[in-house]
Amino acid sequence: MRVARFLTPLLFAAALFAQHTYTLADIENGGRLYLANCTVCHGPDGDLQPGVNLGRGKFRRASSDDELEQIITKGIPGTGMPSHDLTPQQVESVVAYLRSMAASGHSTLPSGNAARGKAIFEGKGECLNCHRVHGSGSYSGPDLSDIGLVRRTAELEKSLVDPNAEILPDNRVVHVVTKDGKEMTARLLNADTLALLVLDAQGQLHSYSKSDLREYSLMKDSSMPSYKGKLTTQEMGDVVSYMASLKGAETR
Amino acid sequence: MMGRMVHCGLFLVLLADWLPAQVTFDRILSANQEPQNWLTYSGTMLSQRHSQLTQITPQNVKNLQLAWIFQARSLEKFEATSLVVDGVLYTVQPPNDVVALDAATGRTYWVYSYSPSAKARPCCGRVNRGLAVLGDRVFMGTIDARLIALDAKTGKPVWSTQVAKPESGYALTHAPLIVKDKVIVGTAGGEYGIRGFIAAYDVNTGKEVWRFHNIPEPGEPGHETWAGDSWKTGGGSVWVTGSYDSDLNLTYWGIGNPGPDWNGDSRKGDNLYTDSVVALDGDTGKLKWHFQFSPHDEFDYDSVQVPVLVDMEWQGRPRKVMLWANRNGYYYALDRANGQFLTGKPFVKVTWSTGLDERGRPMKATTAASSPEGVLIYPGNQGGTNWYNSSYSPRTGLFYIPSWVEYNTTYYKLPVEYHEGRTFGGAALRANVGRRGATLTRLEDSEGYGAVRAIDPKTGDLKWEFKMSDVTDAGVLTTASDLLFTGGREGYFFGLDARNGQMLWKAIVGGVVASGPMTYAVNGRQYVAVAAGNALFSFALPQ
């Protein structure tokens, strides 16, 4: 689901940059492979390596798709760019994704300072009242520990300025009333034909059988306030830099 | 006492010797008379997926419990419907390993392991939907476009025929169909600009006997429906097994989308026989009639369904009817002797067309022209239904359709060029039903949901629906005790009342059900088997 939104704005890019034609499925697959294999070094925006920007649709060492495929499969000997053990179809879809990246937006905020951003995040921004990072904070909003790996800066900016514009399927909040009258508002983790699974603000996981609920419905509006006007554009730039630096705990 | 039992046992052994050891074509034709077996992909040649077994009933189904599990040594999609022949269950562990199990215990008799060539280019997973059996042989089509005959008792290959070139995108994904002394398959690969065909092979030698080109070449009727050279890469896959009417000696097959899938500019015309059903002579493969559901399709509306054949009273007279819930969102009834359109009606929301004319041809909506700016269409790219097995119950008279409801796709048309072995699509797609994983947070119908929809085949009217949260890739099985079995993506396997859709039983199978359930019996005990996730489950009543 996350990947889906990560890619939403990239759709038109497929039309613009198609050398071969790529389906959205190619781009989605490619996006997933990019997240799994490339963001560690190149970042979600493709601009983390000095002198390399994968997000512009222009490459120093490649112009055709075939050349890009060669670079991805074989790596660039003598540099930090490794070879990749992917099938030809997977490589094709990664290229589809790279081609699509260029057309999606970039953050308009001034470039920020992550350390200052962290202070705002934990201080006057009160972000931890709702969010969790690296094991501390609240459970009422999404855990942002690896948000820098999965969201591009333009998307982080949008979340701060206009949190209601798009609530991702992963971030939905549900209101439930049980047959014995208990009410709860909690993050919806999973819903199927027979059950609802949620995480409440206290960090308690609940599994409900739908037949035990009197009613349940999605909260239409985000509880997150807009920070437009509350933080200066520089402060927002700082917070975005901080979030872009959140890459999850080192696990290997 | 002891003596009598031995005696009795001996008698059974003698009886067993008397039973036909081999699966003759006559047995397959009258498979309904031995419902303990499941001798062909869709249960019988009429493909109703309706079993005469009645031990499990709406009253006792709540007691159904797991009899055994077979865990596949494979993490690829498990889509096969098993066959059962006299206590032996045959299935396919993906991609192409044939497995013979004791149908009562799930213990393995043998495994035939096949490694498909790395040249295989399956568009949508290295899947296999099942097998055919005849005589003492089991037949499998492979993802690298081979047809292989195995010895049913040992799993050793008897012959193997290369049907088409895998590097050009050709693949075999469906269970073969036996007609007399021939084994029939059709090729997939419509996403790679293949020119699909259906062909019959001699069961004894594997030699090709006839071939029907799904895309007519110059000189053949229907060729005029393709502009220029577009027929050469015209697609026309076969993804699922056909059916057979022995009185008419006709075999019926659904044909897939034209290539390129979503950009029809280079292939002006109706593009026969894509998105059609063809009726072929069982001996020669000659075309008897065809009916095209979606002429000049740009939305990937393959006719990727098994033709369901029903003999029923139609407007006061007995008729040989064919029921078809098409990917394009319409339900159709045709006269299967001549292809005449009898009735048709949407079974889900349809916006690409404003209706069917008196001959069953869709009237295209003017708002539904594909364009670079994008056009939003119901049903979406996966269709109102897809390859998921539908079922007809002669008892309830209802036709049961695994459906994707309230589901749409926006198509953004793109230029496209043919390169051998590369995808040949012509659009970027975006669906309201996103790619869904282990969890799902959909609570509203407008985001698309899966259902079993039961319709009256005479009118197309909806009688009831069983709603799921997620969309579904599971087939439907009905029984003569008015039970209906199906699954979904969420990891449940359901037993419903076929008369009203009420849920009577469920099992948690913990993985996606992307296969059609089937039922069989061994020593008088009825089992219901379904593949889910990477395992095959078999359920039965407690002994």
B344-384 pLDDT, tens digit each: 999 999 999 999 999 999 999 999 988 888 899 999 999 99
Q: Please report the pLDDT score of residue A12 as a whole number.
A: 36
Least confident residue range of A67-76, B132-141, B150-159, B194-203? A67-76
Is A191's CB within 8 Å of B430's CB? no
Q: Please report the pLDDT score of residue A11 as a whole number.
A: 39
Kindly report the nearest CA distance between residue B422 and chain A, in angstroms: 9
**Ordered strands of the B409-413 beta sheet:** B375-377, B409-413, B427-431
Q: What share of chain A is helix, strand, coil (3-state, %, to 5)?
A: 40, 15, 45
pLDDT at B205 over 70: yes
Confidence of residue B11 (pLDDT cuts 50, 70, 90): very low
What type of residue sits at position B485? F
**What mean pLDDT do residues B427-451 have?**
82
Token pair of B112, please?
């035939």
CATH topology of domain A173-218: SH3 type barrels. (2.30.30)
Number of folded domains in chain B? 1
Please name the member of A15, A89, A218 whose beta carbon is closest to the beta carbon of B414.
A15
Please confirm whether the linkage preceding B402 is cis (ω < 30° from 0). no
Q: Please report the pLDDT score of residue B76 as a whole number.
A: 94
B250 and B283 Cβ atoms separated by less than 8 Å: no
Q: Please report the pLDDT score of residue A151 as a whole number.
A: 83
Is B417's CB within 8 Å of A23's CB? no
Least confident residue range of A84-93, B60-69, B101-110, B392-401? A84-93
Q: Closest Cα to residue B497, out of B488, B505, B489?
A: B505
**What mean pLDDT do residues B258-268 have?**
94
Could you give the percent of chain B with pLDDT greater than 70? 96
CATH topology of domain A114-167+224-244: Cytochrome Bc1 Complex; Chain D, domain 2 (1.10.760)
Please name the member of A11, A26, A188 whose beta carbon is closest to the beta carbon of B430.
A11
ipTM above 0.90, yes or no: no
- The range of the structural domain enclosing residue B289 comes to 3-540
Q: Please report the pLDDT score of residue B160 as a whole number.
A: 98
Token pair of B534, please?
């990477």
Q: Please report the pLDDT score of residue B435 as a whole number.
A: 57
Q: Please report the pLDDT score of residue A185 as a whole number.
A: 96
Number of C-beta neighbours around residue A11 at 10 A: 19
pLDDT at B15 over 60: no
Kindly report the nearest CA distance between residue A205 and chain B, in angstroms: 15
CATH number of the domain at B445, please: 2.140.10.10
According to CATH, the superfamily of the domain at A2-103 is Cytochrome c-like domain (1.10.760.10)
State how far the Cα of B34 lies from the Cα of B119, in Å rounded to an integer: 41
Q: Closest Cα to residue B182, out of B242, B240, B255?
A: B242
The answer for residues whose C-beta is within 8 angstroms of residue A229's C-beta and 6 or more apart is none
Q: Closest Cα to residue A248, out of A98, A35, A34, A8?
A: A35
CA B352 to chain centre: 24
**Which residues of chain A neighbour B441 with C-beta distances below 8 Å?**
1, 169-170, 172, 188-191
Q: Please report the pLDDT score of residue B247 as a whole number.
A: 98
**Which residues of chain B neighbour A174 with C-beta distances below 8 Å?**
443
Confidence of residue B421 (pLDDT cuts 50, 70, 90): confident
Please confirm whether the linkage preceding B260 is cis (ω < 30° from 0). yes
Please name the member of B435, B467, B468 whose beta carbon is closest to the beta carbon of A28.
B435
Mean pLDDT over the full length of chain B: 94
Q: What is the pLDDT of residues A82-129, one digit of tens each?
A: 999 888 888 988 998 898 887 666 778 888 999 999 999 999 999 999
Domain with CATH 2.30.30.100 in chain A: 173-218
B509 and B69 Cβ atoms separated by less than 8 Å: no
Domain with CATH 1.10.760.10 in chain A: 2-103, 114-167+224-244
Kindly report the nearest CA distance between residue B469 and chain A, in angstroms: 5
